[in-house]
Structure 1
Amino acid sequence: MSVNTLSKLKTQSLFLTNLERRSKINRNPKRGYRGRVEEPYRVNEKIRVPRVRVVGENVEPGIYPRDEALKMAQQQGLDLVEISPKADPPVCKIIDYSKFKYEQKKKQKELKAKAQKVVVKEIRFGPNTDDHDFNFKLNHAKNFLKDGAKLKAYVHFVGRTIVFKERGELLLLKFAQELEDYGKVEQMPKLEGKRMSIIMSPKPSKIVKAKPKSSQNKEAQNQDN
């Protein structure tokens, strides 16, 4: 292979390498780049319709030209916010938009907190559970409900013990009765295969909120002193 041919191949290889690098840069935008975040509502001059229906406590409800409604908002030091764009004409409110957004975010956080996964604790019995074992598990169940967890108690039937299903049902009903101050029954005893189960949810008034670690440490120090 001649020197000229080798030089051409090296140049061609370098060109392809640079081309590949540029292609990767184009495919991978810079990290940390965030596109423009659009507001969920049209506000003030961004409302581009000739007429709007204005509702709310601080204004006479009715249909107004957009410019007049905007002027009404400005006179009160507030914003004209389009809350129902698909209505004819679109529905607007005269409110403090910053405060409105804050309240909306607060509501979303509250809904998200309520939608968090519920903890379910399980307690297992046999159809011939004795009083000592029953009371031991009853104390655990009380603590679970006070912690705010749901409770699923079940009787597991092995082999021929399935003939004692009535005994298992009575045991679960007695268990629920002992816990009526701490929880309420969501599902009565129900047989599924070799298991009969009952489900209870905690009573809000009986849920004990966990103390912060700092307060627990202070209590421990006071006891030591």
Structure 2
Amino acid sequence: MATKDLRINRQIRAREVFVIDAEGNQKGIMSVFDAVMLAESVGLDLVEVSPNANPPVCKVLDFGKYRYEQEKRLRDAKKNQSVVKMKEIRMQPKIERHDLETKSKFIGEFLAEGNKVKVSIRFRGRELAHTELGKVVLDKILAQLTENGVGFNLDRDALMEGKMMSMIVSPAKVSAASVKKDNQ
């Protein structure tokens, strides 16, 4: 629950609340008025931390400090998350060997950057009668990636989507220990 949504002191709507004091001791169920008086007597706030419980759970704490710690925790979580982008490489089933090598090189670079790659084969006209040629091209791409030592996971095998056949490849998971070892 976001700190903006928390009710404190006289904003708490319930008649009775379960109170936990500043040291973490359970004080039990008491009226909101008594709980607010208890919090004010020690110079702190009464914060409703679990409004959906029956009765709602409230803690006696310094609200400013609590809000700061919650926001800091959110910033740290946001900093540690990684955004994975989806790149797409398109080709036709009658692609030349050199063009296929170039495309697989680009796919390897995208995977090295940590992006997922959607490899698509576009069929036009009579090519739709020979979709197995697209599967052969996708298999060649996978073989070249393996041959070049690119670490990858096949998220979705070749699948027809209208006039296109595509597969999704993602970078292989790298352990944190090997990343630290490489950086040193």
TM-score, normalising length: structure 2: 0.67
Q: Does 1:187 align with 2:156?
A: yes
Is residue 54–residue 64 contact of structure 1 (8 Å, CA) maintained in 2?
Answer: yes
* Distance in 2, Cα, partners of 1:100 & 1:163: 65
User: In structure 1, which of residues 141, 152, 166 is the aligned counterpart of residue 107 of structure 2?
Assistant: 141
Q: 2:165 aligns with which of 188, 193, 196?
A: 196
Determine which of 67, 71, 77 is the counterpart of 1:105.
71
Match of 2:49 among 65, 76, 83: 83
1:32-181 alignment, distance < 5 Å? 40-47=5-12, 49-55=14-20, 58-60=24-26, 62-66=28-32, 69-70=35-36, 73=39, 78-85=44-51, 87-106=53-72, 110=77, 119-176=85-142, 178=145, 181=150
State the aligned residue count: 169
CA distance in 2, matches of 1:61, 1:148: 51
Alpha-carbon shift at residue 198 of structure 1 (Å): 0.8
Query: CA RMSD for the aligned pairs?
Result: 3.8
Comparing both chains, which one has the higher relative contact order based on Cα–Cα distances under 8 Å and sequence gaps of 6 or more?
A: 2
Letter in 2 for 1:195: M
Q: Which amino acid aligns with 1:198?
A: M
SS at match of 1:127: coil
Summarize deviations over 1:119-143 as a string: whole Å, max 9, x none.
Answer: 3221122223233222211111122
Between structures 1 and 2, the one with greater helix share: 1
Q: Describe the superposition over 1:143-194 as per-residue Cα deviations: whole angstroms up to 9, x where unpaired.
A: 2122233211111222222233112113213424526854322222111222
Instruction: Tell whether the 8 Å contact from 2:108 to 2:150 is kept in structure 1 after alignment.
Output: no
Q: Secondary structure at the match of 2:131?
A: helix
One-letter amino acid of the counterpart of residue 48, structure 2: E
- Structure 2 CA distance for aligned equivalents of residues 53 and 197 of structure 1: 56
Per the TM alignment, residue 46 of structure 1 is displaced from its structure 2 partner at its CA by 4.1
Question: Are the structure 2 counterparts of residues 122 and 46 from structure 1 closer, same or farther at C-alpha, using a change threshold of 3 Å?
Answer: closer
Give the unaligned 5+ runs of structure 2: 176-184
- For structure 1, the 5+ residue unaligned runs are 1-38, 207-225
2:163 partner amino acid: K
* C-alpha distance 86-157 of structure 1, shift in aligned 2 (>3 A): closer
1:42 alignment partner, SS class: coil
Q: How many angstroms apart in 1 are the aligned matches of 2:14 and 2:126?
A: 76
**Conserved 8 A contact 1:127-1:164:** no
> C-alpha deviations, 1:184-209, integer Å up to 9, x for none?
22222111222111122334539xxx
Give the structure-1-normalised TM-score: 0.57
